Structure 1
């Protein structure tokens, strides 16, 4: 779903700009001087003199049930990271940490955190704000495991820019276990993301158990095999599938709610329905079928729900009734995207529906389909979200539009006074590549580096101030055609999730990518300690260069302290047995020659990056494309100098 290849392969090779590299280099030098490294950046941070020491003997004052719930979550994290938890006290003055709910004292989801040398006080107008205050406090704790946590004195006043801050996960193409989804939710909560968009049905798999229709999971949850690569025509021959039981769904919804995250389920219609049709073929258009297989390749299947058959709507209403029983969210996402109309054009029932309703075309038939489902959900107190294709043929009266094909759909919806969630593929599709496709894991294509995610502003300047109020937030999407396991999912999500979080929370006037990068190492440390397989940012100083003289000093620094860099200069890909970069060295390059440095990074936990590279060429190389394939260390040179051999 939602697949646009953004750039040509040649543009993908530019993994990070020289501007970003220079910025990183200057910030790295000052990193040790910074104590407050919070992501997302709060509205106001005022660092004071002094600090407070948190110990196993410290007490928490949480005078009501919600504050006590948040204290229990804090204790879980303290136990996991530092090996101790804290007791509650009924005395506010005896407590080291006060958790105070004061309705109306802060904006929704906002908080006020104060640390002095005697006490920590977090107050908020609602439970979500109090929870987010605790998440900020956890980022003030030291990274090294200890039972004496030194916390800098600080005052923080904070609240979000947008009230919809979402992450999506496609479990239709590939299935992910409950344990991974809980971890996903934990990281979302840490970075103050409050909506989990759970994509549960697809052409390639139906993942939600509906007791009234058992074949949806008996048949629709499993495909006989999966195409290898980009629809190569070659298949792996391995049956694949899985689904979530009622109890597992309830468990995930409750787990998310405990962390102030709303789970919005997506049940795709009228397209992306082949797994449902494989389960119950009568859901398809007349004259097609009569049987279907759960789809084994990627892309958009032509097999869609029949819009002319009332039995289709009865089926969907029954499914959605069960969905509403499992998910208390105000919104239900009904898809609405990428619905081929070929079968509708040939289906006698669909054409009869068009004539009876006086519709002009199949686009208006889709609008009828969406509006009919919306009326059903509205009657049960719910509203719909749909991808921006639901604008075609006329927008349903109360629909919220999720704009993915750029911003135009969102702009059009906002001008019609409909709420909009911006999720344009160019900026927020985390299935897009992050670097050189030769080395990156297989992906859909495109190029979406960290800086581009961070720089996205979801409020188009073309909207009037009144219209801009209809932009309620933003969301990043992880489509999983080429993401078969949790390890690769983590690689595609982190650290881009952190950039999303700051873009969605922090005031636009405070966003600063250079400053974000200075706070990122502390967050990478937590990810590394937790064993998350995040994408390790390229080393500072690794950039293509043109030499004006015969020498250049190579100085590489990892963004995450403690990370080791291994490199090669002979054209081979580096490994952990390659030379270790220990200090700057001088590269000598004769006129007319070029040289490629390749490197990998290995974090303290053992996470290994893909190879990164930079090409160095002498200015006189223009018109002479010869490259150095085997640089040699000359005996007369010091240990920190390398000369390129002259062939």
Structure 2
């Protein structure tokens, strides 16, 4: 046993030490060799004459190197040559798997061989990573090695939601370029929903004339645009598809049905259930509008699909199928008559019939239907592929029924989930899904046997954009968590190593910097933790510094200066006297900055204050969002913690001795949430003033009221509201419960910052 463990350690540790520290995802097989090869401006890239695909991959490498390392290589055609980088198709290559390749570096040159075009391209990406091991410019020494590489999964995807918030063609293509650099091969493009129709359909111009534009809540005020929207022309879509194809990425369009259809119904109300024209929705969530089920509606859908099929050559067409609440179908006499005529059990069965009809149409045109896991609820075509988002249960059920599946579960792979609970975290959904949680995701559920597991095509991360109005928001949410997904979906499961991944990540962050990608440094951001109550009592604090990843060297200062490589290295908790300003930053082993410095001021005022995002929900509902001031705000900060079902938060163990007043920076937000049947879960409380108040309860949320602060008229006040109240004298530590009683059919209120004030400290403002 000891000998076996020693042998395993020697093998694994030896590979880890010798492997290049810049490759993500890790190749399937990598063998170090002796020697190096220098690549400089005089190194040619050689491709065989008339090999268009090889030249395209070579050109991609050359262009990427020029942009990121300032290294300009020339491409020539001819026979393989020494002291060169050679791209070559090899029908007898040892790697037989699709998209696979071999890459050899010797003292005499570099060679990439593959059986197919995608393999050559992926080899080019790997070589680019080898040539960009750091942030330097110019020539680079490449260690000799042999790589045999191929993907673990055929579906390595990212979904971009362009319906809720719209991205330009350049922005979409920029995301595609990053996907290519991570060896992802499917862009699932969400193009229609209740809030917008983004694809030009020439036969139905109102889909974009009307359906692509919404009037935001409180339009024209506080930075909200008068009109929000946009759409892609058919030529722009062709351009995006061509751009993706050149990077061996398939674009799978999603045209939602039978639900999430409000933009379509707003454009052509005759294809809705009621025949009435709704406005485009400004509400995130589950809206009630469904397609009708008559022949005219199906002819409309078929005509739309005809134009979609002409634009997207992908084998799969995504039809949504999720969150279609059946209220309109239940209330429609015509729809009920249809259910009876078809001898169906209920509305779920009608959705199954609906999806089956669409699946037959796609099959007749040589395509295959894919939809969210709700399509299983009413029965689904035998050849349908299921994308599992409601956890993994849908995937397990589908695989056991013999359907192919793509793993895309919430919250595991939802990139709109926040990355931390730090005060400066961006907008998004809770719970936290950090870098480590994405890296640890297992695409194949353990309950599946080998035959069932073979139906798992791969995995996909979803970028829902309700809370991501700009591409900066998207990039912050996606990178570097996409690196983790890349390794999960490409590399063999046995090669996954969290600490090895972290060691390789700094090189990738430098590539982001070179390409001006505003990635999140959240995993490495140093948090500064103290026991606030103990500090208030003693006048000094014991400070703990840490980051999510547990990686890198944290250096800190206590004099307000910006920490650098000469600052104190953190090793264990340290004591400071109040008041003090602590700044801490994280550095990689090579001295590069992994995360910008974080600041915390420790004094009486700050220790008796909390940001609303730091205060947990009251017991009873764990739903939580971090929202921007307005639905379409382009800024990254500030954000506010909100529970749309119960506006109640708590501050535990608050030291109230000497506290005589409270100041609250409140924020009024738009209540733009379609909750469907969950509306019954919204807690409504009686209010004693016209627009409600913020109540501060002692010890329990039904305890004694220490303060009641009336809310102003929303029509005559700013969104940001200052609330002040005196507090009766209290002693000891108590829980404070903050409850808004504002009418639930009006604005949604959040806590910005809560500050407790002491009259003897001169910090009360009247």
In the alignment, which of 52, 76, 91 is matched to residue 103 of structure 1? 91
**Map of 1:256 onto structure 2:** 244
In the alignment, which of 317, 320, 337 is matched to residue 305 of structure 2? 320
Secondary structure, counterpart of 1:140 in structure 2: helix
Q: Distance in 1 between matches of 2:581 and 2:393?
A: 42
Instruction: Compare relative contact order (CA 8 Å, sep 6+) and give the higher one, 1 or 2.
Output: 1
Structure 1 pair 246–470 and aligned structure 2 pair: CA distance change class (3 A): same
1:440 deviation in Å? 1.4
Structure 1 residue 75 corresponds to structure 2 residue 75: no
In the alignment, which of 152, 173, 195 is matched to residue 204 of structure 1? 195
1:567-610 per-position Cα deviation (integer Å, ceiling 9, x unaligned): 679xxxx9xx766681236865499x999966567999999859
**Map of 1:630 onto structure 2:** none
Structure 1 pair 380–557 and aligned structure 2 pair: CA distance change class (3 A): closer
Structure 1 residue 123 corresponds to structure 2 residue 119: no
8 A contact 1:164–1:474 mirrored in 2: yes
1:560 deviation in Å? 13
Q: Distance in 2 between matches of 1:487 and 1:446?
A: 21
**Map of 1:181 onto structure 2:** 172
1:144 deviation in Å? 4.0
Deviation larger for 115-124 or 102-111: 102-111
In the alignment, which of 290, 299, 324 is matched to residue 285 of structure 2? 299
**Map of 1:243 onto structure 2:** 231
Q: Distance in 1 between matches of 2:596 and 2:275?
A: 47
8 A contact 1:275–1:294 mirrored in 2: yes
Secondary structure, counterpart of 2:36 in structure 1: strand
8 A contact 1:38–1:140 mirrored in 2: yes
8 A contact 1:58–1:87 mirrored in 2: no
1:49 deviation in Å? 2.1
Task: Report matched runs for 1:62-461 at 5 Å.
Answer: 62-63=47-48, 64-81=51-68, 82-94=70-82, 96-103=84-91, 105=93, 106=95, 107-142=97-132, 143-226=134-217, 236=224, 238-285=226-273, 288=274, 290-307=276-293, 309-436=294-421, 438-461=423-446
8 A contact 2:191–2:199 mirrored in 1: yes
Secondary structure, counterpart of 1:428 in structure 2: coil
8 A contact 2:526–2:586 mirrored in 1: no
**Map of 1:637 onto structure 2:** none
Structure 1 pair 551–302 and aligned structure 2 pair: CA distance change class (3 A): closer
Task: Report matched runs for 1:485-500 at 5 Å.
Answer: 485-500=470-485
Q: With structure 2 as the length reference, what TM-score do the two structures score?
A: 0.69
Q: Distance in 2 between matches of 1:34 and 1:537?
A: 27
Question: Which has the larger strand fraction?
Answer: 2
1:372-428 per-position Cα deviation (integer Å, ceiling 9, x unaligned): 000000000000110000001112221000000011110111011110000001210
Secondary structure, counterpart of 2:88 in structure 1: strand
8 A contact 2:252–2:314 mirrored in 1: yes
1:93 deviation in Å? 2.4
1:185 deviation in Å? 0.7
Structure 1 pair 545–137 and aligned structure 2 pair: CA distance change class (3 A): farther
Q: Distance in 2 between matches of 1:135 and 1:92?
A: 20
1:37 deviation in Å? 2.1
- Number of residues paired by the alignment? 577
Deviation larger for 44-53 or 213-222: 44-53
1:501-544 per-position Cα deviation (integer Å, ceiling 9, x unaligned): 00001111111111111111110111122111111134487575
Structure 1 pair 509–315 and aligned structure 2 pair: CA distance change class (3 A): same
Aligned alpha-carbon RMSD (Å): 3.6
Q: Distance in 1 between matches of 2:483 and 2:218?
A: 32
1:237 deviation in Å? 5.8
Deviation larger for 298-307 or 401-410: 298-307
Structure 1 pair 609–221 and aligned structure 2 pair: CA distance change class (3 A): farther
Q: Distance in 1 between matches of 2:77 and 2:371?
A: 48
Q: Distance in 1 between matches of 2:62 and 2:78?
A: 17
1:444 deviation in Å? 2.6
8 A contact 2:32–2:145 mirrored in 1: yes
1:225 deviation in Å? 1.1
1:35 deviation in Å? 3.9
1:461-514 per-position Cα deviation (integer Å, ceiling 9, x unaligned): 111111110001000000000100011111000100000000001111111111
Secondary structure, counterpart of 2:511 in structure 1: helix
Q: Distance in 2 between matches of 1:560 and 1:456?
A: 19
1:85 deviation in Å? 2.7
Q: Distance in 2 between matches of 1:605 and 1:349?
A: 66
8 A contact 1:227–1:298 mirrored in 2: no
Structure 1 pair 178–148 and aligned structure 2 pair: CA distance change class (3 A): same
Structure 1 pair 426–557 and aligned structure 2 pair: CA distance change class (3 A): closer
Structure 1 pair 396–137 and aligned structure 2 pair: CA distance change class (3 A): same
1:190 deviation in Å? 0.6
1:286-321 per-position Cα deviation (integer Å, ceiling 9, x unaligned): xx35221111111111011112x2111111100000
Structure 1 pair 346–42 and aligned structure 2 pair: CA distance change class (3 A): same
Deviation larger for 98-107 or 187-196: 98-107
Q: Distance in 2 between matches of 1:303 and 1:610?
A: 48
Q: Distance in 2 between matches of 1:254 and 1:237?
A: 32
1:63-95 per-position Cα deviation (integer Å, ceiling 9, x unaligned): 122111211212211222324131313131246
Which residues of structure 2 form unaligned runs of 5+?
Answer: 1-15, 535-539, 603-651, 657-760, 762-766
**Map of 1:472 onto structure 2:** 457
Structure 1 pair 265–90 and aligned structure 2 pair: CA distance change class (3 A): same
1:140-182 per-position Cα deviation (integer Å, ceiling 9, x unaligned): 1133454422211111111111010001100000000111111
1:36 deviation in Å? 3.3
Q: Distance in 2 between matches of 1:508 and 1:562?
A: 25
Secondary structure, counterpart of 2:522 in structure 1: coil
Q: Distance in 1 between matches of 2:389 and 2:552?
A: 39
1:226-281 per-position Cα deviation (integer Å, ceiling 9, x unaligned): 479xxxx9994631000001111000000000000000000000011100111001
Structure 1 pair 442–554 and aligned structure 2 pair: CA distance change class (3 A): closer
8 A contact 1:414–1:468 mirrored in 2: yes
Q: Distance in 2 between matches of 1:224 and 1:160?
A: 45
